[in-house]
Amino acid sequence: MAVEQGAKPIRFAVLKPDHGSPEAIVRAVISEAPIAIEYNGIGYAVMMATPIDLADYAVGFSLSEGLIERPDDILALDVHQSELGWILRIQLPQKNAEKVVARARQRVSESSCGLCGMDNLEEVMRPLPPVTAQIAVADAAIFLALSALRSHQTLNADTGAAHAAAFCAPDGAILMTREDVGRHNALDKLIGALARAGIDISAGFIILTARCSLELVQKTILANCPMLVTISAATDLAIHIAQKAGLRLISLARADSALAAMPQNG
């Protein structure tokens, strides 16, 4: 398998408002590439993502799509770099492959959106199972994790352009982090990495360096994680779906405050 790379050096001219010749610098720039996902030879999706931790991504994406229930449902996985991007060739048992055939569609998603290729409103707003996991997390633990998050964002430290998804113990200790140019990709990578490592996602909570929109809530609910914390604000639909499924949602989480959505009247 070719070596995965999350960033590359690019030369820039630094422009400033005062007079003078621009300064030349070299800066690390985050990698973005098309990732084609195939199941049993059937093209399922093309996602724009950072080509690191792609085995984790393959497992997490498959879990989020409901195509597998556990990592060992995947019989074989080949991560292949081509001239134009990357290809994840995933082999599933016949019973799982039938789901692929039923749902396969040609779709391309930008890194900012995980729902761009959905076929219809019913698929986007599909019913979700209730979150059955419950954990007790003190407010102090949330802020402890937030304060430690930056030190776990190695790719973002180099590029300033990576989202992070971090899995935290109830006491706020960060146990695992994955990064990507796309926030939903980072979450899929984290879900896959936890599943591959045999770590129970229902026993902790997730922090995302992103705004909280529908697809992030959906993925968290489907993973049966009891709490999601996002650095930026949540949408009204994300809040509604989280409350309906029993997901505790914390947004606009900063060093000095955070917003916990309260039940709405009516």
Of the residues 113, 168, 212, 225, only one is catalytic, namely: 113
Tokens found for residue 208: 């995302």
Alpha carbon distances (Å) from 16 to 12, 21, 160 = 13, 9, 20
227 to 50, 87, 97, 220, 249: CA distances (angstroms):
26, 32, 31, 8, 6
Name the residue among 119, 130, 144, 114 with its Cα closest to residue 215: 114
SS (H, E, C) 74-129: CCEEEEEECCCCEEEEEECCHHHHHHHHHHCCCCEECCCCCCCCCCCHHHHCCCCC
Judge whether 6 and 52 are in contact, CB under 8 Å: yes
225 catalytically annotated: no
CB neighbourhood size of 200 (10 A) = 11
Side-chain-facing half-sphere of 181: CA atoms under 13 Å: 21
Question: Active-site residues: which are they?
Answer: 113
